[in-house]
Chain A
């Protein structure tokens, strides 16, 4: 269904067009629905705080949100790494992101293999196969050249296939 571009320069329009997709992306990357929602909220707040909402066109707002989210997610990952390393394990009774997404066994295997990839490969694959972004859009979101994106995508797919084949 064609998207109502005119509405996407308002907060409500931007929310409708992007929020759920960004939430799914952040959940894939962060493996934690609560953290993912906070990350998406922060990306939106950054957009609002930047003043772009009043003057931006929809494409640029979309791109800004994606970039902001990627940066928030990266920061969260780094921060969480340290917290996990030096903190007691978290309560395992909380439903995992996979449980909330109701993944079947095969899908869990794919997501598990995706998480084992190098960070850039994982980011490129998630942006391509979840948000359906073009090479140029991925390059813009990640600050890479399009040739690097192609390389990461190709290597990521190869590595993903190898990991899934090797899995019991």
Chain B
């Protein structure tokens, strides 16, 4: 039997795996009652629009009273009203270019070859329990006047995301983890940005050959543990060069002193 036929035959066996009996019902419940997943999406979209329209930034805090405890989310707080930010608005700018807006090099950088750039602001969209999200706006290379929010999965730090425990974690170790790939995919570039004195963000770009994919992560060190969270820019953006992509990261991980 040819290898292709053997592979097809082996994979076909997975047709025998039955969905759980309540699979469809679970999805119906999501539609009918607005489960956390649906609600989360709507809340995020609404907050996103509000943020872009008004420049208001909603903040949240992650608090860790003791290093050994999982970080927990407390009620989001509204940042004191101030002048509108310089972040681009889909309605007010015909061609929202990332250039010239946040100039702080701690929140904005351009890749060495100039083909893409990464930035974030301390914005946070909607309360969640298990997951948090950040949003990526694809400006289609700067040509579109309406940014398209692209969903990026973002895992909140939790016990399974502890990457260094019972040791003395260092930033170098955290960086080594954040700039590596599980499947040894070829990485073209990995950038580290300091968000604050305890939290760092990484933007990791896979090579063209592997399919250009941007992976975003944040990490922090609390006591004797280090934590991370990450997200992928999904495939639909991968056809675009990274030029002009604007990344809004939700409230950075601000920890109680």
Quick one: given A48-B38, A86-B163, are A157 and B16 in contact (CB under 8 Å)?
A: no
Interface residue? B53 (CB, 8 A): no
Residue of chain B at shortest CB distance from A44: B27
Interface residue? B256 (CB, 8 A): no
Interface residue? B113 (CB, 8 A): no
Complexed CA–CA distance, A87 and B234 (Å): 28
Quick one: given A28-B14, A33-B17, A82-B160, are A68 and B234 in contact (CB under 8 Å)?
A: yes
Taking the closest CB of chain B, its distance from the CB of A63, in whole angstroms, is 9
Quick one: given A11-B31, A111-B10, A129-B8, are A77 and B182 in contact (CB under 8 Å)?
A: yes
Residue of chain B at shortest CB distance from A112: B10
Residue of chain A at shortest CB distance from B155: A79
Contact A45 B38 (CB under 8 A): yes
One digit per residue, 1 when the CB lies within 8 angstroms of any chain A CB and 0 when it does not, for chain B 67-85 equals: 0000000000000000000
Identify the interface centre among B19, B30, B40, B232: most chain A CB within 10 Å of its CB: B19
Taking the closest CB of chain A, its distance from the CB of B178, in whole angstroms, is 11
Total contacts A-B at CB 8 Å: 167
Contact A160 B7 (CB under 8 A): yes
Quick one: given A20-B15, A27-B17, A148-B209, are A157 and B3 in contact (CB under 8 Å)?
A: yes
The residues of B that contact A142 with a CB separation of less than 8 Å are 211, 235, 238
Quick one: given A33-B17, A86-B163, A125-B7, are A19 and B23 in contact (CB under 8 Å)?
A: yes
Interface residue? B28 (CB, 8 A): yes
Quick one: given A71-B153, A75-B232, A160-B7, are A87 and B17 in contact (CB under 8 Å)?
A: no
Complexed CA–CA distance, A94 and B133 (Å): 32
The residues of A that contact B9 with a CB separation of less than 8 Å are 107, 110
Besides A86-B163, A164-B3, 8 more A-B contacts (Cβ < 8 Å) are A24-B11, A72-B153, A79-B160, A87-B160, A100-B16, A130-B11, A140-B235, A148-B211
Measured CB to CB, the residues of A under 8 A from B are 11-12, 15, 19-20, 23-25, 27-28, 33, 36-37, 40-42, 44-46, 48-50, 53, 67-68, 70-72, 74-75, 77-79, 81-83, 85-87, 97, 100-103, 106-108, 110-111, 114, 118-120, 125-126, 129-130, 140-144, 148, 157, 160-161, 164
